[in-house]
């Protein structure tokens, strides 16, 4: 099987990554508690024991608290750091007195953000720094210079992006002396735009697709690791989906349950197997905070869905026959 693109840069990176957006005690103004730090520690340990060694952050998660809780857990046991790869993202700003919620790739903001990330995580260097969402006001020369300085000063090793199409990646890459190693986008059984854009060519009926055709192929051709956020479909296709008000969610969930019986795994594993069956070697980022679900998720690499099973899931979940 083809090696994951990310392994060119992070040789030991696991096929599944852990998404830290659920850490830190939620999107509120409460300070980080001992309980939040203990939760981060047990999640880190469970993930590592299960074979997950890539941890995905963003400066904004739970208003910076996810990184703070994670950093405190690393401080308690500094030996954990060498067992993992850490990535974090910058470039999204919340609404404040000066402006509404926005994106900011200015040198000032990126510098400030990276320093904040390292401080909260209590680490010297990020393995991957990702630009979170494309900033329409991006000045590529300014950004390129800032990123190069940050990299040369040892604050991050590799650069990635998130929520970008391939034109944007190409454009950015052309101004940088750095290789883009990953693109993190939403891909799951619940958000099928990543597949629909490829099967709807010449079929104008369904044109409300948020994917730019060719992004997946571009990433695959250029060894840019596709990372899937929302990869567990937020539990939509689990036991709870069977009672959904939407027929296609009920039917998809029922089919997921059949596959659960066949493969003797819980529903989150089937949902991940759907992503992993695609030949693009997608790296799912799982955002569950449930330790059993973390452990189970890693078994998704052990089996592979048949072509027929994969298409059953795709067609049921997309709620419409293929053209």
Long-range own/partner contacts, residues 239-244 (CB < 8 A, 24 or more apart): 239/267
CB of 139 to ligand NAP, least distance (A): 22
Question: Exactly one of 50, 87, 88, 288 binds ligand NAP (CB under 6 A); which one?
Answer: 288
Kindly provide the b/e burial profile for residues 91-109, where b requires at least 16 CB atoms within 10 angstroms of the residue's own CB: bbbeeeeeeeebbbbbbeb
Cα–Cα distance for residue pair 213/199, rounded to 1 Å = 10
Question: Exactly one of 15, 158, 293, 318 binds ligand NAP (CB under 6 A); which one?
Answer: 293
Using CB under 6 A as the binding rule, whether residue 162 contacts ligand NAP is answered as: yes
Alpha helices (runs of H) in 122-239, residue ranges in sequence order: 140-152, 166-175, 193-199, 215-221
Active-site annotation holder among 9, 61, 85, 255: 61
Using CB under 6 A as the binding rule, whether residue 56 contacts ligand NAP is answered as: yes
Element (H, E) at 317: helix 307-318
Using CB under 6 A as the binding rule, whether residue 161 contacts ligand NAP is answered as: no
Using CB under 6 A as the binding rule, whether residue 283 contacts ligand NAP is answered as: no
- The token pair that represents 18 in the structure block: 């852990």
Question: Exactly one of 230, 252, 256, 312 binds ligand NAP (CB under 6 A); which one?
Answer: 230
Q: Strands 102-103, 92-93: parallel, antiparallel or unpaired by DSSP?
A: antiparallel
Using CB under 6 A as the binding rule, whether residue 197 contacts ligand NAP is answered as: no
The footprint of ligand NAP on residues 233-252 (CB under 6 A) is: 233-235, 238
Stretch that binds ligand NAP, among 77-85, 166-174, 226-234, 245-253 (CB under 6 A): 226-234
Using CB under 6 A as the binding rule, whether residue 135 contacts ligand NAP is answered as: no
Q: Catalytic site residue 61?
A: yes
What are the percentages of helix, strand and coil residues in the chain, rounded to 5? 50, 15, 40
Active site residues: 61
Q: Enumerate binding residues for ligand NAP (CB under 6 A).
A: 19-22, 56, 162-163, 184, 229-235, 238, 267-268, 285-290, 293
């Amino acid at each position: 099987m083809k090696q994951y693109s990310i392994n060119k840069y992070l040789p030991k990176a696991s096929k599944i990554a852990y998404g830290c957006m659920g850490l830190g005690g939620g999107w509120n103004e409460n300070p980080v508690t001992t309980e939040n730090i203990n939760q981060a520690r047990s999640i880190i340990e469970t993930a590592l024991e299960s074979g997950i060694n890539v941890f995905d952050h963003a400066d904004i998660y739970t208003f910076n608290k996810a990184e703070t809780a994670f950093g405190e857990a690393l401080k308690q046991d500094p030996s954990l750091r060498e067992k993992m790869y850490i990535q974090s993202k910058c470039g999204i700003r919340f609404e404040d007195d000066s402006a509404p919620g926005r994106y900011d790739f200015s040198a000032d903001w990126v510098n400030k953000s990276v320093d904040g990330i390292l401080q909260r995580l209590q680490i010297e260097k990020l393995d991957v720094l990702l630009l979170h969402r494309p900033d329409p006001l991006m000045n590529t020369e300014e950004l390129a210079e800032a990123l190069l300085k940050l990299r040369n000063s040892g604050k991050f090793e590799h650069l990635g992006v998130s929520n970008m199409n391939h034109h944007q990646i190409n454009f950015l890459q052309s101004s940088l002396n750095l290789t883009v190693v990953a693109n993190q986008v939403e891909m799951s059984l619940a958000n099928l735009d990543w597949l629909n854009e490829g099967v709807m060519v010449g079929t104008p009926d369904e044109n409300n697709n948020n994917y730019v055709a060719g992004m997946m192929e571009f990433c695959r051709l250029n060894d840019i690791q596709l990372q899937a956020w929302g990869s567990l479909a937020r539990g939509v296709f689990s036991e709870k989906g069977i009672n959904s008000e939407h027929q296609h969610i009920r039917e998809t969930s029922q089919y997921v349950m059949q596959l659960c019986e066949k493969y003797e795994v819980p529903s989150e594993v089937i949902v991940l197997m759907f992503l992993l069956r695609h030949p693009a070697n997608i790296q799912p980022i799982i955002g569950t905070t449930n330790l059993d679900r973390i452990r189970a998720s890693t078994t998704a690499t052990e089996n592979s869905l048949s072509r027929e099973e994969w298409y059953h899931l795709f067609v049921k979940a997309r709620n419409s026959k293929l053209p």
